[in-house]
Amino acid sequence: MTVSPPDAAGEAGTEWPLAVYRALREAGVTQASYVPDAGHARLIRALHDDAEVRTTVLTTEEEGIALAAGAWLGGARSVLLMQSSGVGNCINMLSLPATCRVPFLTLVTMRGEWAEFNPWQIPMGRGTSAALETMGVTLLRLERPEEAAEVVAAAASIAFDGDQQVAVLISQRMLGRKKWVEGK
């Protein structure tokens, strides 16, 4: 053998979406909705490939909050995947889980915060945390791929056991380790 096995951090650097997928499934998530983002592409594929998970593509991010509330009413756990630019669309709909104390879990891939080439992404990227916190959402940051499973499991526990609204902000610096889709 001339090829060395990848070290743990190197493997985590590329395999973290699958760690997130496993953490969501271990937390009992059976519904997933999304407005696509390149940073979520691998996780979305993994969720689509799982026959036990109902995946729903949305036209706008706040739909996923209403969907998650309905899922909880019916006894199911749902996760919403989106990019930071979508957080602004969600503000009023976050009243629904807050008022009804319905668990809500979202994973947000950040734009506009690290080596951003598109100026149009920067204002909402800068405002993402404040927008969520304004509506009472608990924030966890995912900065290192090797922590992906632990952070998502903790977030799911706060959401589904603690009856809270929780967002995991996945840092652009970490996403940047992966090549963006060609042409984007």
Partner 1 sequence: MSDMPGTLDRRRAVKVLLAERRDLLVVTGLGSPAYDVFDAGDHDGNFYLWGAMGGAALVGLGLALAQPARPVVVVTGDGEQIMGAGGLMTVAVARPGNLTIVVLDNGHYGETGMQRSHSGLGVRLDRVAQACGIEDAVEIADEAGLAAYRPTLLVTSGGPRFVRVRIASGHVERALPPRDGVFLKHRMRGHLGFAVT
Please give the residue ranges that form the binding site for partner 1 (CB under 8 A).
31, 54, 56-60, 62-76, 78, 92-93, 95-96, 99-102
Closest contact distance (angstroms) between CB of 36 and partner 1 is: 13
Closest contact distance (angstroms) between CB of 123 and partner 1 is: 23
Q: Which residues contact 55 (CB under 8 A, 6 or more apart)?
A: 31, 32, 33, 34, 44, 47, 48
Q: What is the DSSP letter of 159?
A: I
What residues pair up with 23 in beta bridges, in sequence order?
A: none
Closest contact distance (angstroms) between CB of 79 and partner 1 is: 12
Q: Are residues 156 and 29 in contact, defined by beta-carbon separation less than 8 angstroms?
A: yes
Q: Which is nearer to partner 1, 90 or 124 (by Cβ)?
A: 90
Closest contact distance (angstroms) between CB of 99 and partner 1 is: 4
Q: Which is nearer to partner 1, 102 or 107 (by Cβ)?
A: 102
Helix (H/G/I), strand (E/B), else coil: 140: strand
Q: Which is nearer to partner 1, 20 or 79 (by Cβ)?
A: 79
Q: Which is nearer to partner 1, 67 or 152 (by Cβ)?
A: 67
Q: What is the DSSP string of 52-119?
A: TSEEEE-SSTHHHHHHHHHHHHTT-EEEEEEEGGGGGGGTGGGHHHHHHT--EEEEEE--SSSS---G
Q: Which is nearer to partner 1, 71 or 174 (by Cβ)?
A: 71
Rg of the Cα trace of the chain?
16
Closest contact distance (angstroms) between CB of 69 and partner 1 is: 5
